[in-house]
Structure 1
Amino acid sequence: MITRVLRNAAWLGLGEAGVKSGLLLAAILVAHASGPSGMGTFTVAYSAALIAVLIGALGQQEVLIREVARSPGAAHGLLGASRLVQIRSARWLLPIAAVGALLVPEGSLRFTLLAFLPYAMLRTATVTYGAAFKGFDRMDVETRARGLETAVAVTAIGVIAILRWPVWTTGAAFSIGAGLGLIWIRRREGELGSGMSTLGPSSLLSEGLPFMALAVVSQLIANADRFLLELLGVARAEIGYWGTAGIIVWAMAALPQLVSVALYPSFSRRAEAGGSPQRAGLLAGLGGAVCGLVCAGGLWILADPLVRLAFGADFAPAVPLLQRLSLALPG
């Protein structure tokens, strides 16, 4: 089990490091091309897209990881049933999201939200396919797909920055990357076998809704600051400063998530066998707290040169925000 968990953590760590680094690079490119105001628009739209992914996924990632770990022979059928649940729900979720975006009064944000809708839909499919492989402890499959997605998106945003295209085109860049990532991972579907699902779509939906609710509430809490700033009419440039600080801290705050996802399939099997994961969970929590403390100290000291070097002098107001936000990392 220890070897398996270490391998899972290594792949997830590599994947998250790549994705978060890519997102930081994308944000830097947006900042240089569009300034604080464009960064604010990108921050709000990308945050909304992440929530849309969680809603569209309907908690099926967690259900698939658990059920495939329990019944590996049914992986292909379970994946098909989960995707059926998501596709049926998307028929009414997608129009609602589109109407909501169209109702946004400010043009730049409206178009950016609309451009991120395909990204949310495509990434939902990618992470669901990836979850089926995670049930086999195959963390590398989704990592590779998301790596391809991020590399394509960042490359496209680099072109956008050079050409000085409007900020809404970043949504198209992420959508193209997500589409290619989905194509790649779907080509691996045959590795899941051809077994039938042990659960029907309705059972998978009911099992997934609590996971979805928890994930959406957590993401809303994590992004409530950006949405509140937008709703309160705070200048988009100010939101850009806040987003600049937040995106750095958010990248580092993903470390505990790496540990939990890496442990989940193994703990599922251990729970099925009557074992207890409490001791390993406590050690993982302590390790995350120490890691967060080190990261917080480093960010506090290096905040000013980091922001000025990466984002430019126009983003100097983000420095004190980054220092304050870094204090949340040990938790």
Structure 2
Amino acid sequence: MTGARTIARNALVVSAAQVLGKLASLGFYVAMARVLGEQGFGAYTFALALAQVTTIFASFGIDEWTGKTVARDPQAAPRLITDGLLVKAVVGVAGCVAAVLFTRIGGYSASVQAAVALLALGTLAELFMNTFNATFQGLDDLRWPAAAAMIERAAIGIFGIVALLAGAGIVVVAAIYLACALAAAALVAARLAAVGVRPERSPSAARSFALVKMTFTIGLTILLNTALFRIDTVLLSVIKDNAAVGFYGAAYRLLESPLFVAYALTGALLPSLSRASRTSSPPVGEYVTTGLKLILCLMAPLGTAYALLAEPLVDLVYGSDYAPAIPAVRLLGGAAALYGVGYFASLVLIAQGRQRILPVVVAGVLAFNVVANLILIPSLSFRGAALVTSLSELLLAAAFLVYVVRVVGRLPAGRILSGPLAGCAAIALVVLLIGPTVAALIVAPVVYVAVLVAVERWRYPEDARRVWATLRRS
């Protein structure tokens, strides 16, 4: 299998699995929002955000380092798995304890405390699974990680919806999350062992500590990024109430659901980005151009739709009770369009060994995010948090791209932007002619694809043929 076909296969299997998993997951959150109301949905959203913030310390860049290293040296996989799991176990348990202590000190209800404990353990199980996923990624095979992700999200969605309809609360739902995460982690570990890759039997604290030192920059970036992605929910819970968190959580789920596109494309390209350089054939700039173009083609229309069609979208997904979330969805449109750009650019820098600048940039944006949220949340509530999120993603994408250009050389802006911008303009025209209605939600994607294909075939026919041929072979 050629490199292009391998990349396409990995991107497609991950995307297909994520689509199915995200549909189940979105259905689960929609059911929760409708059954539990904004108070219960807000409590679960807060519990999950807190669990993710406190346990992310266990990851610390290990997965990115593992995928990059295994891509260059597959024999290093057993040692990296063992060392990575040891670090995650020690730090992750401490994070779980910290999450529970936060809720106890903060005076949260017993159900929220229990949900936080279960979700923190579930998140830790997913971090273990990510070590196995990263190993598969380094081996240029994302089929089993994709299958496990789909099964986990589908199981959480199906069993969660059944439990909610049967009258269960957030504690039972959190327990389902934990059980499904454990099962998915066991599946990926078993499949990795089936291809002959198993952890070393003798863990070493010294080696694990050395691994943390090597991944410090990446790890710090991930910690800061996770805080940037979740701190607004925690601040909303502290400054406002669960109702505000619930409305914001509803809007935020619409933002998060399509982000798998950026993860899938970046994950598929990471091994090639790690091996390529300015002088390789093809050069690293070609991979970067292709990645940015595909991400914008897929994410820019979503951001445009959120900004222009938030009203029918929220009503269709959540119902009229969540109408207050409409302004937040509009304001999160910028984040939906730009998050993938910043994420992809950061992984380009990691793949090229230029990760030292990442925590500096993210720390600066995080400081802006916290200050801006503290200023805007008291007066604008979750709408202020949504605005700050989009501004933060704009700053991240712009800053990372500046450094990417320094590393890979000048990028062809017209080649990257022409198609997506023309398609988004077509969406705006549809909304202007039809209005912000459900009909526009149906017509806009068709018009976008037609305009995108027309522009690409007219301006950049080689790009269009290359992408189509790669997808068809795969």
Q: Same fold (TM over 0.5)?
A: yes
User: Per the alignment, in what secondary structure is the counterpart of residue 276 of structure 2?
Assistant: helix
- Residue 27 of structure 1 corresponds to which residue in structure 2? 29
- Residue 235 of structure 1 corresponds to which residue in structure 2? 241
- Residue 160 of structure 1 corresponds to which residue in structure 2? 163
Work out whether residues 306 and 332 of structure 2, in 8 Å CA contact, stay in contact via their aligned partners in 1.
no
- Residue 102 of structure 1 corresponds to which residue in structure 2? 104
2:178 equivalent to 1:172? no
Residue 12 of structure 1: how far off its partner (Å): 2.1
2:275 equivalent to 1:269? yes
- Residue 217 of structure 1 corresponds to which residue in structure 2? 224
Work out whether residues 41 and 246 of structure 2, in 8 Å CA contact, stay in contact via their aligned partners in 1.
yes
2:292 equivalent to 1:285? yes
2:337 equivalent to 1:330? yes
- Residue 328 of structure 2 corresponds to which residue in structure 1? 321
- Residue 392 of structure 2 corresponds to which residue in structure 1? none
The answer to which of 173-182 and 89-98 deviates more is: 89-98
Residue 36 of structure 1: how far off its partner (Å): 0.8
- Residue 185 of structure 2 corresponds to which residue in structure 1? 182
Which of 110, 118, 123 in structure 1 is aligned with 2:121? 118
Instruction: Assess, with a 3 A threshold, how the Cα gap between structure 1 residues 183 and 328 changes in structure 2: closer, same or farther.
Output: closer
Residue 244 of structure 1: how far off its partner (Å): 0.6
Spell out, residue by residue over 1:31-75, the C-alpha distance to the aligned partner (whole angstroms, 9 max, x if none). Answer: 122001111112112222333443222221111101111111232
Work out whether residues 112 and 168 of structure 1, in 8 Å CA contact, stay in contact via their aligned partners in 2.
yes
- Residue 8 of structure 2 corresponds to which residue in structure 1? 6
Aligned mates of 1:52, 1:75 — CA distance in 2:
27
Aligned mates of 2:45, 2:198 — CA distance in 1:
41
Aligned alpha-carbon RMSD (Å)? 2.4
- Residue 441 of structure 2 corresponds to which residue in structure 1? none
Which of 75, 78, 87 in structure 2 is aligned with 1:76? 78
The answer to which of 299-308 and 174-183 deviates more is: 299-308
2:157 equivalent to 1:150? no
Amino acid at match of 1:204: L
Work out whether residues 152 and 176 of structure 1, in 8 Å CA contact, stay in contact via their aligned partners in 2.
no
Amino acid at match of 1:155: I
- TM-score normalised by structure 1 residue count: 0.90
Spell out, residue by residue over 1:256-277, the C-alpha distance to the aligned partner (whole angstroms, 9 max, x if none). Answer: 3332221111222235996641
User: Per the alignment, in what secondary structure is the counterpart of residue 330 of structure 1?
Assistant: helix
Match runs of 1:33-48 below 5 Å: 33-48=35-50
Larger radius of gyration: 2
Instruction: Assess, with a 3 A threshold, how the Cα gap between structure 1 residues 98 and 84 changes in structure 2: closer, same or farther.
Output: same
Instruction: Assess, with a 3 A threshold, how the Cα gap between structure 1 residues 48 and 19 changes in structure 2: closer, same or farther.
Output: farther
User: Per the alignment, in what secondary structure is the counterpart of residue 81 of structure 1?
Assistant: helix
Residue 91 of structure 1: how far off its partner (Å): 4.8
Work out whether residues 119 and 177 of structure 2, in 8 Å CA contact, stay in contact via their aligned partners in 1.
yes
Instruction: Assess, with a 3 A threshold, how the Cα gap between structure 1 residues 147 and 194 changes in structure 2: closer, same or farther.
Output: closer
Instruction: Assess, with a 3 A threshold, how the Cα gap between structure 1 residues 266 and 285 changes in structure 2: closer, same or farther.
Output: same
Which of 240, 254, 273 in structure 2 is aligned with 1:248? 254
Of structures 1 and 2, the one scoring higher in RCO (CA 8 A, sep 6+) is 1
Spell out, residue by residue over 1:179-218, the C-alpha distance to the aligned partner (whole angstroms, 9 max, x if none). Answer: 1112212212322436969x93233221223222111211
Any stretches of 5+ residues in structure 2 without a counterpart? Answer: 339-474
Aligned mates of 2:279, 2:16 — CA distance in 1:
30
Amino acid at match of 1:246: Y
Aligned mates of 1:90, 1:222 — CA distance in 2:
19
Aligned mates of 1:75, 1:84 — CA distance in 2:
14
Work out whether residues 104 and 110 of structure 1, in 8 Å CA contact, stay in contact via their aligned partners in 2.
no
User: Per the alignment, in what secondary structure is the counterpart of residue 138 of structure 1?
Assistant: coil
Aligned mates of 1:272, 1:328 — CA distance in 2:
30
Work out whether residues 5 and 263 of structure 1, in 8 Å CA contact, stay in contact via their aligned partners in 2.
yes
Instruction: Assess, with a 3 A threshold, how the Cα gap between structure 1 residues 90 and 225 changes in structure 2: closer, same or farther.
Output: closer
Amino acid at match of 1:185: V
User: Per the alignment, in what secondary structure is the counterpart of residue 215 of structure 2?
Assistant: helix
2:61 equivalent to 1:59? yes
Aligned mates of 1:37, 1:12 — CA distance in 2:
34
User: Per the alignment, in what secondary structure is the counterpart of residue 170 of structure 2?
Assistant: coil
Q: Percent identity?
A: 20
Aligned mates of 1:186, 1:253 — CA distance in 2:
25
Spell out, residue by residue over 1:229-263, the C-alpha distance to the aligned partner (whole angstroms, 9 max, x if none). Answer: 1121x121121111111110122344333322211
Instruction: Assess, with a 3 A threshold, how the Cα gap between structure 1 residues 18 and 83 changes in structure 2: closer, same or farther.
Output: same
Match runs of 1:291-310 below 5 Å: 291-310=298-317
Work out whether residues 101 and 114 of structure 1, in 8 Å CA contact, stay in contact via their aligned partners in 2.
no
Aligned mates of 2:334, 2:276 — CA distance in 1:
35
